[in-house]
Amino acid sequence: MENSDKSSAVKSTDCGADATEITYKQVFEAIPYTVIIVESGFKVVTLNGSARSFLGASAGSGSSSLWDMAPFLLAHKAPMEKAMADGKTLVLRRIEFKGSESKYIDLSLCPCSGTGCINGAVLVIDDVTELEKKEEYIRRSQKMDIVGTLAAGLSHDFNNVINGIKATADSIKFSLGNTKLSVDALRGQVRDDLEIVEESANRGADIVEQLLSISRKKELTYAEVDLATALKNVIKVCGNTLPKTVEMIAEIRVEKAMVKASLTQLEQVLLNLCINASHAMTIMRKEEDEKGGKLGISLEKIYVGPNMCAIIPDAKEGYYWLISVSDTGVGMTREVMVKIFDPFFTTKEKRGSGLGLSMVYNIVKEHGGFVDLFSEPGAGSVFFVFLPLAEDAGGK
CATH assignment at residue 68: 3.30.450.20
% of the chain with per-residue pLDDT over 90: 23
pLDDT at position 21, please?
A: 61
Q: What is the CATH number of the domain that holds 308?
A: 3.30.565.10
Asked if the structure places residue 17 within a domain, the reply is no
pLDDT classification of 116: cutoffs 50, 70, 90: low
Whether residue 139 sits in one domain with residue 68: no
Residue 17, pLDDT > 60, answer no
CA atoms of 188 and 314, how far apart (whole Å):
64
Q: How many domains in the chain?
A: 3
Which of 271, 196, 260 has the alpha carbon at shortest distance from 237?
Answer: 271
Give the pLDDT band of residue 246 (cuts 50, 70, 90).
very high
* Per-residue confidence (pLDDT) for residue 216, from 0 to 100: 53
What residue numbers bound the domain in which 306 lies?
219-396
Residue 82 shares a structural domain with residue 207 = no
Residue 9 in domain: no
Position 349 scores a pLDDT of 58
In a domain, 84, yes or no: yes
Residue 21 inside a domain? The answer is no
Predicted pLDDT at 149? 62
Q: Output the pLDDT for position 68.
A: 87
Average pLDDT, the chain: 79
User: Is 48 within 8 Å of 41 (Cβ atoms)?
Assistant: no
Domain end call among 108, 127, 146 = 127
Q: How many secondary structure helices (H) and strands (E) does the chain include?
A: 11, 12
- Report if residue 390 sits inside a domain: yes
Residue 208 sits in the same domain as residue 224: no
In a domain, 38, yes or no: yes
Task: Give me the pLDDT at residue 118, please.
Answer: 67
- Cα torsion through 85, 91, 95, 100, rounded to 10: 80
The reply to whether 369 and 309 lie within a common domain is yes
| Residues forming a β-bridge with 325 | 297, 383
Interatomic CA distance for residues 40 and 84, integer angstroms: 8
205 and 261 together in one domain: no
Task: Please check whether residue 120 is in contact with residue 81, taking contact to mean a CB–CB distance below 8 angstroms.
Answer: no
Residues 186 and 266 grouped into a single domain: no
Do 170 and 71 lie in a common domain? no
Place 247 in a pLDDT band, splitting at 50, 70 and 90. very high
C-beta atoms surrounding 279 within 10 Å = 23
Question: Are residues 213 and 193 both part of a single domain?
Answer: yes
Q: Are residues 112 and 183 in the same domain?
A: no
Task: Provide the whole-model pTM.
Answer: 0.54
**Which residue spans within the chain are E strands per DSSP?**
34-39, 43-47, 90-98, 102-112, 120-127, 223-226, 246-252, 258-261, 293-304, 318-327, 370-376, 380-388
In a shared domain, residues 92 and 156:
no
Q: From CA 205, how far away is CA 215, in angstroms rounded? A: 15
Least confident range from 24-38, 55-69, 160-174, 345-359: namely 345-359
Question: Among residues 70, 105, 127, which one ends one of the domains?
Answer: 127
Please, are residues 121 and 107 in contact by the beta-carbon 8 Å criterion? no
Do 268 and 378 fall into the same domain?
yes
CB-based contact 318:303 (threshold 8 Å): yes
Give the amino acid at 309. Answer: C
Domain boundary among 190, 217, 244: 217
The answer to whether residue 60 is domain-embedded is yes
Residues 212 and 323 in one domain: no
Is the Cα dihedral 267, 270, 273, 275 positive or negative?
Answer: negative
